[in-house]
């Protein structure tokens, strides 16, 4: 069950549906957060209990090595609303989110971080916006509490989202979001060895929006989203969901080929009219280096697409769950 788009009221504003008429699943990927994840769970439970909402909390341990699994497993045993999944290894945030939403049963699914930088009370703002008829709502942080390279990475990924997934220029996206059940079902049914939930949410929805939410400073530890992880995410998006790198390489190869033909024509004319000099090693080595380099780059690009295509068609599982705890 999911809500249909409500009719506008007399003031021309969308009618807000009753929060309590629907069920909600909160999905939280957990990675090396033993010092904070227990508080995160307690605060989420407190917010939804106080609001009188029907909910479930799905915690996905993404290969933590610090005892986070023991914490969330104990929470799941103590609370019938909490389910804990333990993944075989660290697959990454988007894969952990996919595992969580496949476990989720709610009419709406909310994804959020495990470090309380997404305050649990802000989920109610996402819910209220979704109940105006939106199928996806993203949280727009009033002031994002993150390092410079993460802000730069977010800007680069946003540029890619606009080109690859058609993200509207006036839409702000983040990993703090709410998805309606029909969008969740489309994401779960898609076959990809490299899930990217933000892009898939944009692909499989039609009525998106964002709402301003708070973003708190990190209380414990530091971000697990390193520069290397951001670069990997960029390559995952480009090679798994876009032909842009291949087309760019094709254009580059075409330009180099034209240049090579031009150089060949110049030497041919010089040869015909007798203006021949003793060939030098510099010219030969430079030309070979350029053309062989372009050839190798093109083959590497094609190889990357072939590998990802093989992973997709071989029905390779994106993740493996080794344990599930629920009361």
pLDDT of residue 226: 64
pLDDT of residue 313: 65
C-alpha to C-alpha distance for 24 and 162, rounded to whole angstroms: 29
C-beta of residue 178 within 8 angstroms of C-beta of residue 109: yes
C-alpha to C-alpha distance for 188 and 319, rounded to whole angstroms: 13
C-alpha to C-alpha distance for 120 and 169, rounded to whole angstroms: 28
Q: Which residues contact 273 (CB under 8 A, 6 or more apart)?
A: none
pLDDT of residue 90: 93
pLDDT of residue 72: 97
pLDDT of residue 67: 93
pLDDT of residue 6: 43
- pTM listed for this prediction: 0.76
Question: Tokens at residue 115, please?
Answer: 């470090």
Nearest to 90 by CA among 66, 73, 57: 66
Sequential DSSP letters for 116-181: SSS-GGGHHHHHHHHTTT-SEEEEEESS----HHHHHHHHHHHHHHHHHS---TT----S-EEEEH
Divide the 327 residues of the chain into consecutive groups of 10 and give the mean pLDDT of each group.
45 71 97 95 98 98 95 97 97 94 97 94 97 96 66 76 85 95 94 85 95 86 68 77 73 71 67 62 64 73 71 70 93
Within 10 angstroms of residue 104's Cβ, the number of other Cβ atoms is 24
Label residue 92 left, alpha or beta by phi (over 0 means left) and psi (-120 to 50 means alpha). Answer: left
- Burial class from Cβ neighbours inside 10 Å (0-12, 13-18, 19+) for residue 281 reads exposed
C-alpha to C-alpha distance for 20 and 27, rounded to whole angstroms: 19
Question: Tokens at residue 251, please?
Answer: 């254009």
pLDDT of residue 4: 46
């Amino acid at each position: 069950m999911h809500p249909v788009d409500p009719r506008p009221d007399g003031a021309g504003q969308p009618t807000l549906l009753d929060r309590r008429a629907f069920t909600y699943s909160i999905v939280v990927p957990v990675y090396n957060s033993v010092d904070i994840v227990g508080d995160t769970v307690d605060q989420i439970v407190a917010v939804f209990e106080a609001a009188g909402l029907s909910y479930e909390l799905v915690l996905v341990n993404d290969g933590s090595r610090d005892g986070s699994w023991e914490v969330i497993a104990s929470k799941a045993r103590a609370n019938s609303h909490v389910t804990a999944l333990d993944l075989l290894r660290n697959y990454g945030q988007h894969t952990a989110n996919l595992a969580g939403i496949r476990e989720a049963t709610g009419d709406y699914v909310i994804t959020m971080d495990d470090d309380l930088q997404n305050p649990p009370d802000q989920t109610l703002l996402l819910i209220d916006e979704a109940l105006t008829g939106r199928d996806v709502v993203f949280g727009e942080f009033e002031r994002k509490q993150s390092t410079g390279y993460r802000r730069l990475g977010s800007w680069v990924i946003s540029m890619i989202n606009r080109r690859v997934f058609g993200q509207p220029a006036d839409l702000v996206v983040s990993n703090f979001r709410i998805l309606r059940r029909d969008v969740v079902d489309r994401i779960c049914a898609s076959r990809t060895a490299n899930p990217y939930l933000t892009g898939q949410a944009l692909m499989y929805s039609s009525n998106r929006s964002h709402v301003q939410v708070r973003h708190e400073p990190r209380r414990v530890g530091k971000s697990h989203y390193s520069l290397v992880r951001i670069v990997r995410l960029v390559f995952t998006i480009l090679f798994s969901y876009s032909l842009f790198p291949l087309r760019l390489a094709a254009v580059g190869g075409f330009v180099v080929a034209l240049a090579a033909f031009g150089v060949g024509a110049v030497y041919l004319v010089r040869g015909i009219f007798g203006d021949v000099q003793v060939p030098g090693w510099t010219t030969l080595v430079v030309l070979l280096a350029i053309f062989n380099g372009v050839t190798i780059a093109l083959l590497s690009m094609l190889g990357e697409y072939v590998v990802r295509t093989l992973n997709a068609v071989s029905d390779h599982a994106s993740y493996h769950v080794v344990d599930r705890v629920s009361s």
